[in-house]
Amino acid sequence: MSAIGSTRTAPGERAGQQNGQGDLHREWSSRTRIFLTPVAAPSILGLFGFASSTFMVAAYLAGWYGSSHSAVSVLSNLAPFCLFFGGLAQFLAGMWSYRARDAIGTAMHGTWGAFWMAFGVFFILVGAHVLTLVGGTAHGATDAIPFAYWFYTLAAITACGFFAALFKNAGLAAVLFTLAAGSACVGIGFDSGVSTWYRVGGYILVASAAFAVYTAFALMLLEGVGRVVLPLGHFRYNRREHWRPGAVLARALEYEEGMPGSKVGQ
């Protein structure tokens, strides 16, 4: 704490200080330099990367395609895309979310980016017959208990993110709620070997991917247009602004004397 902040002044002295506040403000303003680093919303990339990989794998789990082929052959073909877009790109978005002071984005994109990288590497190695998946998967309807614990862990962590997102907006909360529920269903499917759980989990994860695309698109339009086009449903107890279509959420701060070193719009 500075000496000024810790010093008490008498009432008579306080009036003299108030008279000199204008000069003190000018003095500090003349010395202050503000350097701002432009940061776009990292979750736009993270949500698109997550949605693409999740949709492709979830559609397979739901039985939309690939039923005539083995699970290993299908998932090993999806693995490179999941590794780089759902994994690496989303993980980088999580690290950029850290710089943007987005705790939920850091945790969720970091977690799921790491998962998709592990998923991609794992099924590339399985497809190359370097590793073997214990049990069967998806349409084989036999157990793969070790792989089930991947999804149990992800479901628990994502559920934590969902409760935190309740203080953000409904779009993000919908993504994380369906993601946690779908992951839990897929984990139960791998654990029990009951194919119904795969299909239910697949459909829920497809819904999560759809919510993710909507949320990312809404954020991208907000950045590009400068006003709300697609509302994200901010909750009343966290509504700083009205997220109705056409609302402007960011307003430039302007000082009477200007702030040296700053640029409006950075």
pLDDT along the chain (266 residues), means of 10: 42 50 64 64 94 95 87 90 95 92 93 96 90 63 76 96 92 96 94 89 96 95 84 68 60 50 43
Q: What is the structure's pLDDT at 246?
A: 62
CA atoms within 13 A on the CB side of 170: 10
Q: What is the structure's pLDDT at 37?
A: 67
Count other Cβ atoms within 10 Å, centred on residue 245.
9
Q: What is the structure's pLDDT at 114?
A: 96
Angle between helices 103-127 and 42-61 (to 10 degrees): 40
Q: What is the structure's pLDDT at 211?
A: 97
Candidates 249, 190, 192; CA nearest to 225 is 249
Q: What is the structure's pLDDT at 2?
A: 39
Q: Is 41 helix (H, G, I), strand (E, B) or coil?
A: coil
Residues 124-145: tens digit of each pLDDT:
998 888 877 776 555 554 567 8
Contact 250, 264 (CB under 8 A): no
Tokens of 184: 């839990």
Tokens of 243: 């997220």
Domain segments of the chain: what residues? 42-226
Residue 169 β-bridge partners: 234
Q: What is the structure's pLDDT at 232?
A: 86
pTM of the model: 0.75
Can you tell me the distance from the alpha carbon of 126 to that of 124, in angstroms, rounded to the nearest whole number? 5
Cα-flanking dihedrals φ and ψ of residue 169, to 5°? -155, 165
